[in-house]
Chains A and B, each alone.
Chain A
Amino acid sequence: MKKGRVEFWNGNIACAEGAIAAGCRFFAGYPITPSSEILEHMAKRMPEVGGVFIQMEDELAAIAAVIGASWGGVKAMTATSGPGFSLMQEGIGYACMTETPCVIVDVQRAGPSTGQATKAAQGDVMQARWGTHGDHEIIALAPNSPQEMFDLTVRAFNLSEMYRVPVIVLADEIVAHMWEKVRIPDDIEIVNRRKPSRPDEQIFGHELDTGVPPMPAFGEGYNLLVTGSTHDGYGFRKTADPLVHRKLVTRLVNKIRKNAEKIVDFEIYGCDPEDAEVMVVSYGCTSRSADEAVRQALEEGIKAINFRLRTIWPFPEKALRELAERVKLIVVPEMNLGQLYFEVERVACGRCPVILVSRIGGGEMVRPQDILRELRRA
């Protein structure tokens, strides 16, 4: 990284600036705590960078506008929190089916329903994965600092452009409202969607295509048909043909599954993973508690690591399975009553015990000592 510059930002501002750095030039949203500063910042910044900002009438309209903008050839984003994220699920499914690159930021707060609007939680992990109906694969990233609100929003755009999928930045109130230094490199790697090279190219995948087809924009001279119904490579609706549906949806799922190893991103803090005896699996704000717990455990001579997920979906199955072979115990701290915990248990598959450390309500973080207590057991 070159020298770059340093800013003192909260996570929401860092997220908005990351989006702009990645090339986002369209933002549509409906304000909701604790994500509102993203919208507020975009309202100021979009006109400055030649982009478009629209405050929509609700979240249904916000996601629809974002999908439309993306088909207009612009990188587009929206930001919301739990209740709004629920409303966006149908649109997210439409984006999956129509292979529309876009970024949805969900700053998690305590639910269900209106819950505790200003207080942090991590209750949307499974909603990010399965909130929309039907077979689909999604990408969700989990930042743990304002720095990562910037970095992972850039990555979210890059992944969405590369794989033509909606990508979710699964943040939480704590990282969104926390202020820290953010280092912005001079050059940031940007990925742009692949454009078709011929006018007759099938932009929803030709016969033998198993990957990511090219994507034109409206107004570029293509006869574009975009539909959420099952469609062939040209976009023609095929609502009863079993083979077309099978081929399309299998490709949509496989373009993520088969590239999972390239998408997956994690960080390990603590002792040499080869020597680790106990492991924490964490993400988002809770990973900061986990890092502190592991630091204290190391001081006590416990060989511990924190396996921190920066991509939650796809889930880093291979890496986790290998570590589960080696350690005696896995601790999963979450600000919910168990969501990723069950996924970890599925992958550990009896290789070692998996313990959940929960804390919900009032936005209180999982305490390092509560994780440490479990690490001492092994």
Chain B
Amino acid sequence: MRVEILIAGVGGLGIVFAGSVLARAAAIYEGFEVTFSPSYGAEARGTACKSEVIISDERILYPRVRNCDFMISMSDDAVLRYIRFLKKDGYLVLDEDLVKLDVKRKGIKVVRVPAHRKAQEVLGTPQVTNMVMLGVLAKLLPLVSFESIKRSIKDLSPKRLVDLNVKALELGNRIPLGD
């Protein structure tokens, strides 16, 4: 079993944090072998940024995403760059406001969610868009339980942000996926 998850966008959106929360949940609380590789540009904000998470029940050899099962995309650029790594029948989860592109590729499942907008409307800040997206992913990825992700958020968030991050995760989990 090897499940590949790619979270991609631009620096400043919490791409690396979202990856680290998911990876820790899978490794420490679900007991899987996990490789998490964050990648970012020399600038802290604004340039291409991604988190690659691989979850397996055996030793992980090659640590990079090639046949992606789940791809969360938070920028047009990220979709253009990485859609070719998404496997057939793989999930492409898009923020409907941050990604304006019309995705033409056939044979994949495209899920559009208003994560950015909901974060602003319900929680008053777009900064937790990453956690809302993770809440959406948690619905699609039964391998890592919602509870494990929550515990991981508690481990990794600064104290003052734990509640907000957990609320954002729950918010994402409540967003209907449509068909």
Q: Which A residues lie at the B interface, using CB under 8 A?
A: 6, 8, 33, 116-118, 174, 177-181, 285, 288-289, 291-292, 295, 363, 365, 368
Question: Are the CB atoms of B63 and A178 closer together than 8 Å?
Answer: yes
Task: Render B10-44 as a binary contact track against A, CB cut-off 8 A, 1 for contact.
Answer: 00000000001001100110000111111111100
Question: Are the CB atoms of A365 and B35 closer together than 8 Å?
Answer: no
Question: Are the CB atoms of A179 and B23 closer together than 8 Å?
Answer: yes
The residues of B that contact A8 with a CB separation of less than 8 Å are 23-24, 27-28, 34
Q: Which of A118, A288, A289, A291 contacts B41 (CB 8 A)?
A: A118
* Complex: A365 Cα to B65 Cα, angstroms: 11
Question: Are the CB atoms of A289 and B37 closer together than 8 Å?
Answer: no
Question: Are the CB atoms of B62 and A368 closer together than 8 Å?
Answer: yes
Does B139 have its Cβ within 8 Å of any Cβ on chain A? no
Question: Are the CB atoms of B62 and A288 closer together than 8 Å?
Answer: yes
* Complex: A336 Cα to B43 Cα, angstroms: 24
**B41's closest neighbor in chain A, by CB?**
A118
Q: Which of B34, B42, B62 contacts A118 (CB 8 A)?
A: B42
Question: Are the CB atoms of A177 and B37 closer together than 8 Å?
Answer: yes
The residues of A that contact B151 with a CB separation of less than 8 Å are none
The residues of A that contact B35 with a CB separation of less than 8 Å are 178-180
Task: Render B62-82 as a binary contact track against A, CB cut-off 8 A, 1 for contact.
Answer: 111000000000000000000
What are 28 sample pairs from A and B whose C-beta atoms fall under 8 A apart? A8-B23, A8-B27, A8-B34, A33-B42, A116-B42, A117-B42, A118-B39, A118-B41, A118-B42, A177-B37, A178-B36, A178-B37, A179-B24, A179-B34, A179-B35, A179-B37, A179-B38, A180-B27, A180-B33, A180-B35, A180-B36, A181-B33, A288-B63, A291-B61, A291-B62, A295-B61, A365-B63, A365-B64
Name the residue in A8, A33, A118 with the highest tally of chain B Cβ atoms < 10 Å from its Cβ: A8
Chain B interface, DSSP helix/strand/loop, else mixed = mixed
Interface size on B, residues (CB 8 A): 20
* Complex: A98 Cα to B41 Cα, angstroms: 40
Say how far B146's CB is from chain A's closest CB, in angstroms: 19
The residues of A that contact B61 with a CB separation of less than 8 Å are 288, 291-292, 295
Task: Render B52-68 as a binary contact track against A, CB cut-off 8 A, 1 for contact.
Answer: 00000000111110000
Q: Which of A180, A292, A363 contacts B62 (CB 8 A)?
A: A292
The residues of B that contact A288 with a CB separation of less than 8 Å are 61-63
The residues of B that contact A363 with a CB separation of less than 8 Å are 39
The residues of B that contact A6 with a CB separation of less than 8 Å are 28
Question: Are the CB atoms of B42 and A289 closer together than 8 Å?
Answer: no
The residues of B that contact A365 with a CB separation of less than 8 Å are 62-64
**A180's closest neighbor in chain B, by CB?**
B35
The residues of A that contact B36 with a CB separation of less than 8 Å are 178-180
Closest 8 CB pairs of A and B: A292-B62, A179-B36, A291-B61, A292-B61, A8-B27, A178-B37, A117-B42, A8-B24
Question: Are the CB atoms of A174 and B63 closer together than 8 Å?
Answer: yes
Say how far B61's CB is from chain A's closest CB, in angstroms: 4
Name the residue in B35, B38, B61 with the highest tally of chain A Cβ atoms < 10 Å from its Cβ: B61
Question: Are the CB atoms of A174 and B23 closer together than 8 Å?
Answer: no
Please judge, given known A-B contacts A8-B28, A117-B42, whether A179 and B20 are in contact too, CB under 8 Å.
Answer: yes
**B60's closest neighbor in chain A, by CB?**
A180
The residues of A that contact B63 with a CB separation of less than 8 Å are 174, 178, 285, 288, 365
The residues of A that contact B40 with a CB separation of less than 8 Å are 118
* Complex: A118 Cα to B36 Cα, angstroms: 16
The residues of A that contact B39 with a CB separation of less than 8 Å are 118, 177, 363
* Complex: A179 Cα to B61 Cα, angstroms: 14
* Complex: A154 Cα to B34 Cα, angstroms: 23
The residues of A that contact B37 with a CB separation of less than 8 Å are 174, 177-179
